[in-house]
Structure 1
Amino acid sequence: MSSSRAPRPAMTCPRSTACQPCKNLKTPPSKTRPQGWQRLLLAMALQVGVAVLWLGLLVQTSWAGQMPLLFWLVVHGLVAAGLSHWRTREPWWTAFHLAMPWLALLALQWQLPLWVYPLLALLLLAVFSPVLKDRVPFFLSSDQVAQGLLQIMDQRQTKLFVDLGCATGGLLVSLARSRPDTEFVGVETAWLPYWVARMRAMRLPNLTIRRQSIWDLDLKGFDLVYCFLSPDPMARLGAQFDDQADQGARLVSNSFQIPGRKPGQTLPVQDWRESVLWVYPKA
């Protein structure tokens, strides 16, 4: 049967030498937004810039000095969060900017020793580093999602399952205990969730946790590929799945769709997020 779908354009990697995760992808990584540490530096620069604006008002005007501190904390958070949302449309950065002035006030009032700040920064980095690199926040799948995945697995007689970005491994532990004859693999890049998942998987012989980027993982051989990421990486992941997965494999995405692509199956989940499992066959 012939297909009327137009072929996808060939990928050209933005680097001088194509990196391994990009070599076989049909959709190039986005070049329109800052990546990695650039985004954190831009966020901090925005906070400093708004603070400098307020200091200028305090020096140049009389009314600014008469306003209470609460007023400036609220306005600072709203202005920084509004500018961030206008440029990024990413809710976790909006929340970051709203919280920053209040966190700074608490730090000043508590008079914390200087070593606490780098320790907190390292702890946050150990948990949320995927947000900086791939725009993938720290999401945990609900028990209801686990039940939905078991339903899909039984329909497909799944033998090898992978969770892309498994966090602390709670979903995989639940699935591995429910289906001891199925092999489960979880991949995670953030150090702290990875080690938590590793420890939780120690007594489950059918569960393996790897510290690995989803872009470095070969999806060949997996019957079911599950992810709970964010809208940004979905187009690239869809292309990777089509290039690497076996015929008959399925990609199940929690909440976020592959843009411009119709799923083969949808499964609404009755959890507090009102999640939807989008099931995509290999194109």
Structure 2
Amino acid sequence: MRIEQEPNPELSGARKRLPPAILAFFIQFAALAAVWCTSQLLWSLGWQDLPAWALFLLQGVVACLLSIMLAMAAWWRWIHLLFPLAILAMLQWQLPAWIYLLAFCFTLALFWSTYRTQVPFYPTRPATWRQVKELVPADRPVGVLDIGSGMGGLVIYLARECPNARCAGIELAPLPWLISVLSAFLKKSPASFKYGDYQAVNLSEYDVVFAYLSPAAMPDVWLKAKKEMQAGSLLISYEFEIPGVAPKLQIQDKFDAPSIFVWEL
């Protein structure tokens, strides 16, 4: 079954938006400007004893509201809310400079790809692994690819539970990729992991492709899957749908749990 996607003007407009990291910078800058103007007004009215934490909290609230108005992803709301308070805490703790450098290097290695791909690091759970396993054909040899494989938990699990499957993962963030390689080595798993962008992988080599990315990434995943994947192969997405394309199957373990969406090419 082949499902064609009609042009989506809303999707075209969304692609022209600023990358989330740049948009977040402008939101925090706007919130800071708003708080500064508010503080100047209050001081002119005689409110000169405002605690610092109140101003930092106000900046976080304003930034959070702006992120909601601009339809940023839900996790950005928490980041905007807590970021000014985290800055205040670091200023008060007076930590040595090397700690900030270490935290920066760790964060960079973990979220290396987030700026370009708009995909945050968020691993799948074992319950999801078991659901995906049921979708992998067991009666013939198949190739399975996890796009954005993170620390490799799903791929290693499928390699163990699906003996007829050739399981691989690809990850763009260096730290999760390194952890997945080491984990596969220590567990003597046949799973393989590539470092890089999934756009460089030929999806025609795989019968099942799994993705847990973000809403921003799904249209490009679909376009690549339509172009390269063979007839009868499966594209599986956890939590995020493809705009304008109805899935063949939707699986939901619990009422309030995210769904698994399945498209057959």
TM-score, length of structure 1 as denominator length: 0.81
Q: 1:157 and 1:81, CA in 2 relative to 1: closer, same or farther beyond 3 A?
A: farther
- Counterpart CA distance in 2 for 1:90 and 1:276 is 17
SS of the equivalent of 2:97 reads coil
Selected match of 2:149 from 161, 166, 173: 166
Alpha-carbon distance, 1:205 to partner: 4.7
Q: How does 1:1-283 map to 2 (within 5 A)?
A: 31-35=15-19, 39-60=20-41, 61-154=44-137, 157=140, 159-202=142-185, 203-270=187-254, 274-282=257-265
Q: 1:7 and 1:99, CA in 2 relative to 1: closer, same or farther beyond 3 A?
A: closer
RMSD: 2.7
Identity of aligned residues (%): 25
What is the letter of the counterpart of residue 40 of structure 1?
A
- Counterpart CA distance in 2 for 1:187 and 1:232 is 18
Alpha-carbon distance, 1:135 to partner: 1.4
Assess if the C-alpha contact under 8 Å between 1:144 and 1:270 holds in 2.
no
Alpha-carbon distance, 1:255 to partner: 1.1
- Counterpart CA distance in 2 for 1:147 and 1:131 is 27
- Counterpart CA distance in 2 for 1:46 and 1:164 is 30
Q: Which runs of 5+ in 1 are unaligned?
A: 10-26
- Counterpart CA distance in 2 for 1:277 and 1:56 is 46
What is the letter of the counterpart of residue 204 of structure 2?
K
SS of the equivalent of 1:261 reads coil
Q: 1:45 and 1:256, CA in 2 relative to 1: closer, same or farther beyond 3 A?
A: closer
Cα deviation 1:98-119 (Å, max 9, x = unaligned): 1111111110111012233233
SS of the equivalent of 1:67 reads coil
SS of the equivalent of 1:201 reads helix
User: Would you say how many aligned residue pairs link Structure 1 and Structure 2?
Assistant: 259
The worse-fitting range, judged by mean Cα deviation, of 219-228 and 84-93 is 84-93
The worse-fitting range, judged by mean Cα deviation, of 262-271 and 205-214 is 262-271
Alpha-carbon distance, 1:157 to partner: 4.4
- Counterpart CA distance in 2 for 1:43 and 1:118 is 22
Alpha-carbon distance, 1:147 to partner: 1.1
Assess if the C-alpha contact under 8 Å between 2:138 and 2:162 holds in 1.
no
Assess if the C-alpha contact under 8 Å between 1:92 and 1:137 holds in 2.
no
